[in-house]
Structures are given as structure tokens and as C-alpha cells.
């Protein structure tokens, strides 16, 4: 098994990085509903001693930027779809569960990306199983999103979101409980 890159892809995969997958990883995969000859540039960076774990039938669509820094771990569960133009920056650990949908233009960052008082602050992110993250949402460091949750479009998630709830806004807050959704 390996990484199968579609269209315009830039991959920087260090020898000491580790890719674990039960099937081929589809990176920069086209959205079948749009022109499959018009790919946006996708970028995958796996730094020294980084680890990428991808479940079967997971897809990372066209135009995504995925970076896993040294000694960091990014896990993407089976049957999870990360849609076009998403950005994932993993400096410590990001876990995305099974059967998730991450809509267009989302950002998931387990870091502040800058130093404050000469310290870089990283905290793991855990996204449960069967989570739907709406278009343009931002998931920030230290957040856990419970199984079956829905994150509304354009939300900025700065705190934990309970399982089976719908959250929206900036910062995201729970607006409905006991929700269910189908693919």
C-alpha cells in the first residue's frame, strides 16, 4: 500500500516518516461531481519521524494542504472524506475518526503556529467517529469533538463539543443536542 497522488501534487515525504494504511491513500483525489481534469495543487508534507495512519476508503480531496511535523501523528479513520482545499497542520497529534465528512475549506490546527514568550503551544485534537464539519470551519488545538457531532459552517471550535450535538458560531457553542445525521 502507498500514497496514490492525483493531478498536481507536491509530496515531501521524508525517509524516516511512517505511513500506515490498510489500502492505498488517495491524495488530491478529484470530486467526481466536478471536472476531474481540473485539479488544484495538493501538498503533502511528512517530516522526519512523523506518522500518517489512514483507514480504508479514506479520501483527501483536491487542493488540500497536509503537514505532519517531526514526531507528530495524524490519524484519518476509515471512510472519512476530507473535501477540497482543507488545511491540516499537525505538530503533535490529530485524530480524525471513521466515517467523518470534513467540508470544503476547513482548517484543523493542533498548534498556535507561532511562539508566545518563546514557547510553542501544541495540544492534540480528537475528532470522533461520524462527525460532520461544515464548510469553512476551523478546529483549534486541544479540542475534542464527540461522536456524531455536527459543526455548522464557518464555525471556530475552541472548546470541546459533546457527542451527538450541533455546534455553530465563533466561538462555536452547542445550539442543539441529540442530533443525528446520515451521509
Q: Which residue, among 86, 94, 40, has the nearest Cα to 69 in the 3D structure? A: 94
Give yes or no for a contact between 37 and 59, defined as CB atoms under 8 angstroms apart. no
Q: Is 114 among the residues known to form the active site?
A: yes
Q: Which of 114, 121, 130, 159 is catalytic?
A: 114
CA 83 to CA 103: how far, in whole Å?
5
Q: How many CA atoms lie within 13 A of 69 on its CB side?
A: 12
Q: Show which residues are catalytic.
A: 114
Amino acid at each position: 500500500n502507498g500514497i496514490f497522488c492525483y493531478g498536481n501534487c507536491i509530496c515531501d515525504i521524508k525517509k524516516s516518516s511512517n505511513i500506515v494504511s490498510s489500502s492505498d491513500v488517495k491524495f488530491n483525489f478529484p470530486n467526481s461531481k466536478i471536472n476531474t481534469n481540473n485539479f488544484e495543487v495538493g501538498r503533502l508534507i511528512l517530516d522526519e519521524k512523523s506518522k500518517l495512519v489512514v483507514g480504508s476508503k479514506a479520501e483527501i480531496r483536491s487542493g488540500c494542504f497536509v503537514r505532519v511535523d517531526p514526531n507528530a501523528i495524524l490519524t484519518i479513520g476509515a471512510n472519512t472524506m476530507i473535501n477540497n482545499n482543507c488545511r491540516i497542520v499537525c505538530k503533535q497529534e490529530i485524530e480524525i475518526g471513521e466515517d467523518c465528512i470534513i467540508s470544503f475549506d476547513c482548517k484543523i490546527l493542533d498548534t498556535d503556529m507561532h511562539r508566545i514568550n518563546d514557547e510553542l503551544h501544541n495540544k492534540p485534537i480528537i475528532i470522533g467517529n461520524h462527525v460532520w464539519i461544515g464548510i469553512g470551519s476551523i478546529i483549534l488545538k486541544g479540542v475534542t469533538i464527540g461522536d456524531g457531532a455536527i459543526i455548522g459552517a464557518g464555525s471556530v471550535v475552541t472548546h470541546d463539543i459533546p457527542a451527538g450535538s450541533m455546534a455553530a458560531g465563533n466561538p462555536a457553542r452547542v445550539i442543539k443536542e441529540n442530533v443525528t445525521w446520515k451521509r
